[in-house]
Chain A
Amino acid sequence: MELGPYILLASLEGAVTAAVLALTAVGLSLVFGVMRVVNIAHGEFFMLGAVIAWFVAQTVGGHPALGFVAALVIAPLVVGAIAAAADMTILKRIDYDPERTIVATIGLLYIIQQLTLMTYGPEARPVEAPFNQRLAIPWFEWGEEGFEFYFPWGLSTTTYKLAVIGAAGVVLVGVWLMMARTRIGLLMRATQADRDMALAFGIPVERVYALVFGIGAALAALAAVLIVPIQQAHYLMGADPLLLSFIVVIIGGLGSLPGTVVAAIFIGLSDGIISVFFSPTLAKILATLLVGLVLVFRPQGLFGTRAA
């Protein structure tokens, strides 16, 4: 394959990564924005979403689409409920102190991960995609007989991958509508702006916090359900999404939702392209260093203008 089709393929794969990453990172960003805490267990909620999707798909049986749709509904709800429960039993009791929250969510990370290992086991298991047609992509170039189309070998994508990108877009618009147009979004923004003032105005801040923590985790779970037909469910799969979401949230500006989406697309695409041409490890080294330096020299993020 020549360079042109190669880059197109890498960007297509990168776009799928970017779509899933955007959902996961928006969940993390929402929690940070409203609650001012960093949830280290976010990657484990992602993993839990994938594992629950597998359980649901196994239980439902029948046509793969049936199990998948059921998983798409059940996994985020269950994970959201678990997260909200963790918020009310643990985070609320330590009063959302930023550093103690981090320690507690590290604990939560190990608890969720190891319980999954004990029940689900160490195997990686796939969930069947509801539909999965292969689409060959044409490429054109100036040949000896002028402008010609052809289908390079290996340059293809699947309908499912395109659907993932579309679904992520729909959900992101949904999150934006919720934040900007609904009453609950208004309550969240009020809590984000000034917690004490919100409390004084009779907003049930603690319930808003539990809800936000639940929604953040549910978004991660949703992203995992979408990716699990492409990438198998495994009990250690939470580490990479966590690291990448961190990178995205920081580069996009802590707590800024539009910045997070822009950064997710940027990181997803460049990760895809760099990984194709260089070693994936090198791509990760560069990304982590970039995050460290961005936080040191530009704490508001590359795309953010608001102070974090």
Chain B
Amino acid sequence: MSATAKTLTLHLGLLAVLFALQFVLPAYHHGNLARIMVLASYAVGYNILFGYTGLLSLGHALFFAAGMYGMGLTIQYAGFTPAPALIVGILAGAVVAAALALLALRTTGVAFLIVTLMFAQAGYLTILYFGEYTRGDEGFVIQAFDRMLWGIDLSNPENRYFAAWGLFAVCLLLCLRLVRAPFGKTLVAIRENEERVRMLGYNTFAHKWGAMVISGTISAAAGAFYGLLFGYAGATFASVQYSIFPLLWVLLGGAGTVLGPFVGTLFMFYLIDLSSGVTTAYLLIVGVALVLLTLFAPQGLTGELRRRVWRWLP
């Protein structure tokens, strides 16, 4: 089999397995997996900027929250139905990402990270400041009767799973297509050596800007779907923690691999799920995982797999 055929088989196979799983999983894991697929879509978006372009952002919660609140607030106050509200959410994320990218990409390295962190923090505080509308930390519930998409009730677990699967499938295939396209290859080249790419005549700024907008848009889509599927929007999703989580998932699963974000999210979700039976200090696990990863497996799980077994993995 050629590398392309192998790649397609693997990724479509994963999607098929995930699709089939909904008929066999018990209710608890069924709900978990739906959540994991939405969060993994967020991680896929993060990975495009961090894994493929090599830009470490600590501000993706801003995009996630832009999607979530763009969707939630229009349903809550403008009386939108879910379909236009989702579009508003995704567009909000795209606009925020486009604007922030124009500013933040003027810096590099650690400064880029701090600029994204600061703007995300400002966004989080803004949500708290307008607590009258956003209900701040407490958040607001999106009622079940507001969550009917084209006559499909998204508060029903089966429909929810299917919607989460659809979102994840779109994000995964989009990412796969992107990294195999010339644009994606240029991003990888920028990650490896930006000066050389610039010298070869590429507009590196435009490429990085594009990557950040795509990454932010996917993150916003995940945020909008998360709010809609689970019926809740709260300021916690805009906090630094939700910028660190996708970083952790991607690092764990393998930065710069298409499957990595899903593997990392799945692994981390169940690690926290299992450990929360033992202790409430589940963030301790997050901390230990981060330190161990940077020390021993900077490539992540999928990255190690690629290094040792499947060299063709995209």
* Pick from A117, A284, A296: contact of B104, CB under 8 Å: A296
Across the interface, do A288 and B121 meet the contact criterion of CB distance under 8 Å? Answer: yes
Across the interface, do A246 and B294 meet the contact criterion of CB distance under 8 Å? Answer: no
Question: Is A134 positioned at the interface, with any CB of B under 8 Å from its CB?
Answer: no
Across the interface, do B118 and A107 meet the contact criterion of CB distance under 8 Å? Answer: no
Interface, chain A (partner B; CB < 8 A)? 38, 90, 93-94, 98-100, 102-104, 106-115, 117-118, 243, 246, 250, 279, 281-282, 284-285, 288-289, 291-293, 295-297, 299, 308
Q: Is the interface of B mostly helix, strand, loop or mixed?
A: helix
Across the interface, do B103 and A107 meet the contact criterion of CB distance under 8 Å? Answer: no
Given A288-B119, A289-B119, A102-B107 contact (CB < 8 Å): no
Question: Which residues of the partner chain B approach A282 to less than 8 Å between Cβ atoms?
Answer: 129
Q: Count the B residues whose beta carbon is within 8 Å of the partner chain — how many?
A: 37
Question: Which residues of the partner chain B approach A279 to less than 8 Å between Cβ atoms?
Answer: 129
Question: Is B109 positioned at the interface, with any CB of A under 8 Å from its CB?
Answer: yes
Question: Which residues of the partner chain B approach A118 to less than 8 Å between Cβ atoms?
Answer: 279, 281, 284
Across the interface, do B114 and A250 meet the contact criterion of CB distance under 8 Å? Answer: yes
> How many angstroms between the C-alpha atoms of A113 and B292 in the bound complex?
17
From A94, A108, A292, residue with most partner B Cβ within 10 Å: A292
Across the interface, do A98 and B110 meet the contact criterion of CB distance under 8 Å? Answer: yes
Given A106-B244, A107-B294, A285-B126, A114-B284 contact (CB < 8 Å): yes
> How many angstroms between the C-alpha atoms of A102 and B248 in the bound complex?
12
> How many angstroms between the C-alpha atoms of A1 and B113 in the bound complex?
44
* Pick from B113, B125, B290: contact of A284, CB under 8 Å: B125
Pull 25 A–B residue pairs with CB atoms less than 8 Å apart, ordered by A: A99-B113, A102-B113, A103-B247, A103-B251, A103-B294, A104-B290, A104-B294, A104-B295, A106-B247, A106-B290, A107-B290, A108-B287, A110-B283, A110-B286, A111-B284, A111-B288, A114-B287, A118-B279, A292-B114, A292-B122, A295-B118, A296-B104, A296-B106, A299-B107, A308-B111
A85 CB to nearest B CB, Å: 13
Interface, chain B (partner A; CB < 8 A)? 56, 103-104, 106-107, 109-111, 113-115, 118-119, 121-122, 125-126, 128-129, 244, 247, 251, 279, 281, 283-284, 286-295, 298
> How many angstroms between the C-alpha atoms of A243 and B122 in the bound complex?
11
> How many angstroms between the C-alpha atoms of A199 and B36 in the bound complex?
48
Across the interface, do A243 and B114 meet the contact criterion of CB distance under 8 Å? Answer: no
* Pick from B107, B291, B298: contact of A295, CB under 8 Å: B107
